């Protein structure tokens, strides 16, 4: 029987960590249409939060019982300039706010929230929509999305292997069937894993953490993946990751960094349930080791010399497979 929170967020098969605590998830929501000041006011009003600190490009809000929400203009140059400039704060705020409303996405970074309490974020999304926030379809120059940062239930090799295989098998289906907006598909920010990496991963049997990290870094030494595993692997072995990826934006944490979902915050029928539900497909498949073995064999058997695995055929096969098992 499906287990739901009070506002319809479905719980995954493993909602708790092995220590019994509820797993947590953080969302990063990108949009434009409103400036930093209006975004801050909307989040404050919806969550009863207070301003803890601010620059012309970034605001920290403290919401009692939830944690720190970061609201920022997602333009690294402007953020660095604003942080070090000695000129009038209000002048910079006005310049940056105008830029954000026209060209630059605003990003709301939520703290990790227990899976059983995700409904507390819904008033925030509604308030941002009412204030004028618009998402993926409204921008021709920015690939706005929602990042889902879900805590892993147990940080060990078998658990990681299960999740990696589940996503690897699902990635084409997730893009084609959800679907992901074309502007975001052609952007470099959510590139899919290369077929060569899929074959390496799906050919493994009971790999160690070291093998999982080394294989991943060989093919994916970048944040720009639909499922970015660098934060997770940095949590395990930060030095190993830093040797291959010199990027200060990689923060070690025991979470999956799932970047595929679009942001449709301007739609009345859209909420954070939609990006969460796309990730749930990975959660459900990761909890079925026998099915993972069978699907991995099917994928490898579908490989053909020179042409590899047909993406269209695999998505069609997987679509039927998931529907037959009521997993999609």
Does residue 99 lie in a domain region?
A: yes
Residue 88 carries which DSSP code?
-
3-state secondary structure of 94: helix
Does residue 258 lie in a domain region?
A: yes
Does residue 209 lie in a domain region?
A: no
Tens-digit pLDDT profile for residues 44-99: 999 999 999 998 889 999 999 999 999 998 766 555 555 655 556 566 666 666 65
Residue 269 carries which DSSP code?
T
10 Å Cβ neighbour count for 311? 15
One DSSP character per residue, 168-217 reads HHHHHHHHHHTT--HHHHSSSTTPPPPHHHHHHHHH-SS--HHHHHHHHH
pTM of the entire predicted model: 0.90
10 Å Cβ neighbour count for 204? 15
Number of domains composing the chain: 1
**pLDDT attached to residue 46:** 98
How far apart CA 234 and CA 276 sit, in angstroms, is: 24
Tens-digit pLDDT profile for residues 23-37: 999 999 999 889 899
**pLDDT attached to residue 15:** 97
Does residue 262 lie in a domain region?
A: yes
The strand pair at 113-114 and 255-258 is best described as: unpaired
How far apart CA 23 and CA 286 sit, in angstroms, is: 16
Does residue 277 lie in a domain region?
A: yes
3-state secondary structure of 48: coil
10 Å Cβ neighbour count for 119? 17
**pLDDT attached to residue 237:** 96
**pLDDT attached to residue 73:** 86
% pLDDT > 70, the chain: 84
For residue 57, what are the domain limits? 24-156+176-190+223-285
Does residue 304 lie in a domain region?
A: no
Residue 64 carries which DSSP code?
T
At residue 29's C-alpha, the angle toward residues 23 and 32, to 5°, is: 175
Query: To the nearest 10°, the Cα dihedral for 82, 85, 91, 97?
Result: -10
**pLDDT attached to residue 229:** 98
Q: Which of 92-106, 168-182, 206-220, 249-263 has the lowest mean pLDDT?
A: 92-106
Q: Do 33 and 138 meet the contact criterion of CB atoms below 8 Å apart?
A: yes
**pLDDT attached to residue 86:** 55
Q: Mean pLDDT score of the chain, rounded to an integer?
A: 89
Residue 111 carries which DSSP code?
P
Does residue 145 lie in a domain region?
A: yes
Does residue 5 lie in a domain region?
A: no
3-state secondary structure of 319: helix
With tokens 């990063």, the residue in question is 28
């Amino acid at each position: 029987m499906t287990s739901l929170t009070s506002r319809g967020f479905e719980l995954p098969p493993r909602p708790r960590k092995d220590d019994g605590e509820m797993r947590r998830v953080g969302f990063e929501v990108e949009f434009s249409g409103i400036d930093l000041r209006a975004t801050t006011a909307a989040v404050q009003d919806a969550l009863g939060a207070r301003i803890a600190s601010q620059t012309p490009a970034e605001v920290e809000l403290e919401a009692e019982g939830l944690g720190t929400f970061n609201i920022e203009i997602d333009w690294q140059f402007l953020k660095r300039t604003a942080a070090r400039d000695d000129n009038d704060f209000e002048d910079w705020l006005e310049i940056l706010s105008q830029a954000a409303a026209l060209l630059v996405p605003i990003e709301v970074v939520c703290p990790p929230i227990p899976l059983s309490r995700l409904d507390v974020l819904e008033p925030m999304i509604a308030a941002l929509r009412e204030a004028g926030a618009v998402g993926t379809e409204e921008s021709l120059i920015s690939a706005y999305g929602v990042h889902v940062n879900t805590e892993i239930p147990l940080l060990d090799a078998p658990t990681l292997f299960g999740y990696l295989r589940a996503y690897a098998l699902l990635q084409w289906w997730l893009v084609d069937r959800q679907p992901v907006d074309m502007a975001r598909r052609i952007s470099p920010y959510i590139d899919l894993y290369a077929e060569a990496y899929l074959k390496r991963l799906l050919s493994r049997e009971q790999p160690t953490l070291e093998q999982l990290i080394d294989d991943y870094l060989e093919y994916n030494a970048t944040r720009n993946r639909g499922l970015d595993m660098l934060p997770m692997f940095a949590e395990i072995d930060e030095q190993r990751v830093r040797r291959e990826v010199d990027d200060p934006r990689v923060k070690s944490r025991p979470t999956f960094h799932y970047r595929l979902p679009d942001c449709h915050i301007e739609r009345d029928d859209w909420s954070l349930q939609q990006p969460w539900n796309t990730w749930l497909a990975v959660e459900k498949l990761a909890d079925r080791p026998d099915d993972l073995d069978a699907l991995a064999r099917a994928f490898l058997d579908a490989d053909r010399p020179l042409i590899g695995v047909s993406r269209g055929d695999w998505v069609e096969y997987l679509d039927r497979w998931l529907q037959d098992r009521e997993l999609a």
